[in-house]
Structure 1
Amino acid sequence: MAENTVDATLWCRSPLPAPDAPVRLVCFPHAGGAASYYHPVALALTPDVEVLAIQYPGRQDRHTEPCVDDIGTLADHVHDALRDRLDRPVVFFGHSMGALVAFEVARRMERDGGGPVHLFASGRRAPSRYRHETVHQRDDDGLVAELRSMSGTDSRVLEDEEVLRLVLPALRSDYRAVETYRHEPGASVRCPVTVLVGDDDPKTTLDEGRAWGEHTTGAFDMQVFPGGHFYLTDRATDVIEVLRARLKSAANQPDREPA
């Protein structure tokens, strides 16, 4: 196994360590999001599941570090950071931008002979479904308008100029990463993929969600919830139950760490 070239403790956060859990859920945040977004997931699933949340640079306790504005580069770093955390079956969950990062990390792990036993892609159209978007080129007011339209950011953050100054650079970088991402033709994973999407999501139509089926040679299914891009805020209990069912099955599977 290759030696780590990144500090895994910076990238991988375990809100509630569960060393005896039979399965690990790795969660990838949305654009502008942070590892702390998944603390409620850890509260709901621990101790049966160990939740590991990815912390991208440029936010919260990593706010002094340069942001990474390329999905492939992010995936390379996360792939490296996860090398020593494959001691049990691993499931990936990514929301919005996080779904793309999770997909690319899964591809890298599978090239090594391992990989997650299941991938959840939430609130994001399939890698092959492209839209021309230029949110990252807007001024700060334009970025804030985008945040408001997605209804995924606490209104207190949007009204606090000092906090916004801290958040906007990471948000702009993340949007640049998403909007300039181009999948490798024919890119797919071997693991089963479950898509979760809101039925009124302006960023992902149901057809764009179903297209994830083209990116796995494993099983595919899609769960549709009432709501928009951040449907999972209002449907947290339902989403947790979907995760719980798949994680229970994953716990009984052998891990896919390379020999």
Structure 2
Amino acid sequence: MTPVPVKMEDLRALIAGVLEVEPEEVTDEAHFSDELEIDSLLMLEIATRVETVFGVPENTIVIGGATTLAELHTFVVSKVVGATSAGPVIRPRPLSDPAMRLFLFHHAGGSHLLYRGWADHFPQDWELCLLEAPGRGRLQTLPLIDDCDRLVDHFHTAIAPLLDRPFGFFGHSMGALIAYQLTRRLHRQRAPLPDWLGVSAYGAPRGEAGADSRRHLMSDDELRGWLRNVGGSPPQLLDDDAVWRQFAPVFRNDFKLVDTWAPPPDPEPLPVPLSVFAGRCDQLIGEDRLLAWQTFTTHFGGLESYEGDHFYVMDQRRPLAAAITAAMRASAA
């Protein structure tokens, strides 16, 4: 089926119809909740209509977190364009012969949208590859994967043809675990290794279970409260019961993957330069756990901290991209 063209004016008229206002009142940059007074129920209705009209995968609009018409238009266009491919690798700026590829792995309960807009901050001859786990976004019809090794298998199969030039891995939170395990997989198989590995907001593996090792078993109220404290999730996702019921299985699935993963008893340090990144106000990971990564690599690049909490990456794209670029260039030299 040919995708329906996504015009800004059509989205404006759709939102105005739901709000029962004139289209000109829905300006490009008017904030949905602050200026247009769109609550979670109205946002759910808007999301449903947009998904129906433009053929966007079900349940992706709310989790996308758009806060203005301009952001919503950009997001819908990306979903319609991306609908022509159902693979787990999203390349915002495809290149026929990139000098470098950077693979980005998202957090638990999230999607490739964590890295929306990142390509603008990297060298023009680099190709960014955003990984999408099954069960969300355009892969929503695929079953969720709650086992670390199986998700590594899934991603390994997808990216294998793309490892034909220098590349690096960067993962945030759960994504850091996946990036680390995928690097170990490549090392064991004597396959091409990343020139550099970046782990963000995730502590080095340890034998004993942590305080949050049973998150997937929490009650709904406990889990929603925990997610509110951590941040990074749109309020309408946590505050609206109908929306929460749609996305709770994804959170529980991903937390089960992390919580039940068994660290290797005595892992061999990876012959790959490894750098660690974190938010200074992250209440989930202590500095000791972050610095402990140095025993898992033969080339430790140190710890870089930024203003922010567990989801500091959302507000620090430009300096973080600069740090990643510098680290990858130094490692590939």
In the superposition, the TM-score normalised over structure 2's length comes to 0.69
Verify the 8 A CA contact 1:186 1:215 in the aligned structure 2: no
Where do residues 132-143 of structure 1 align in structure 2 (5 Å cutoff)? 132=211, 133-143=213-223
Residue 236 of structure 1: how far off its partner (Å): 2.1
**Worse-matched range after superposition: 138-147 or 195-204:** 138-147
Shift of the 166–45 alpha-carbon distance from structure 1 to 2, 3 Å rule, reads farther
Which residue of 2 is the match for residue 48 of structure 1? 125
User: Deviation digits for residues 30-84 of structure 1, max 9, x if unmatched?
Assistant: 0011112212212322523111011101111222222111112211221222110
For 2:126 and 2:321, the matched residues in 1 are separated by 12
In the superposition, the TM-score normalised over structure 1's length comes to 0.88
Which residue of 1 is the match for residue 52 of structure 2? none
Identity %: 33
Which residue of 1 is the match for residue 270 of structure 2? 189
Long gaps (5+) in structure 2: 1-84
2:265 corresponds to 1:174 = no
2:131 corresponds to 1:131 = no
Which residue of 2 is the match for residue 3 of structure 1? none
For 1:160 and 1:170, the matched residues in 2 are separated by 16
User: Deviation digits for residues 182-232 of structure 1, max 9, x if unmatched?
Assistant: 211222321010000112212211110000111112233111122211122
Verify the 8 A CA contact 2:197 2:274 in the aligned structure 1: yes
Verify the 8 A CA contact 1:12 1:55 in the aligned structure 2: yes
Verify the 8 A CA contact 2:88 2:139 in the aligned structure 1: no
Which residue of 2 is the match for residue 5 of structure 1? none
Residue 142 of structure 1: how far off its partner (Å): 2.3
Long gaps (5+) in structure 1: 1-7, 254-259
2:201 corresponds to 1:120 = no
* SS of corresponding position for 1:10: coil
Verify the 8 A CA contact 2:86 2:138 in the aligned structure 1: no
Where do residues 64-143 of structure 1 align in structure 2 (5 Å cutoff)? 64-113=141-190, 114-128=192-206, 130-132=209-211, 133-143=213-223
Verify the 8 A CA contact 2:89 2:129 in the aligned structure 1: yes
Shift of the 162–20 alpha-carbon distance from structure 1 to 2, 3 Å rule, reads farther
Verify the 8 A CA contact 1:18 1:47 in the aligned structure 2: no
Misfit runs of 4+, over 4 Å: none
For 1:52 and 1:202, the matched residues in 2 are separated by 29
Point out the structure with the larger helix share: 2
User: Deviation digits for residues 102-126 of structure 1, max 9, x if unmatched?
Assistant: 0000011112222111000000000
**Worse-matched range after superposition: 211-220 or 90-99:** 211-220
For 1:38 and 1:46, the matched residues in 2 are separated by 16
- CA RMSD, 1 decimal: 1.9
Verify the 8 A CA contact 1:59 1:166 in the aligned structure 2: no
Verify the 8 A CA contact 1:27 1:92 in the aligned structure 2: yes
For 2:290 and 2:140, the matched residues in 1 are separated by 32
Give the greater-gyration-radius structure (CA). 2
> Pick from 226, 246, 251: which aligns with 2:327?
246
Number of residue pairs the alignment of both structures matches = 245
**Worse-matched range after superposition: 188-197 or 117-126:** 188-197
For 1:120 and 1:162, the matched residues in 2 are separated by 36
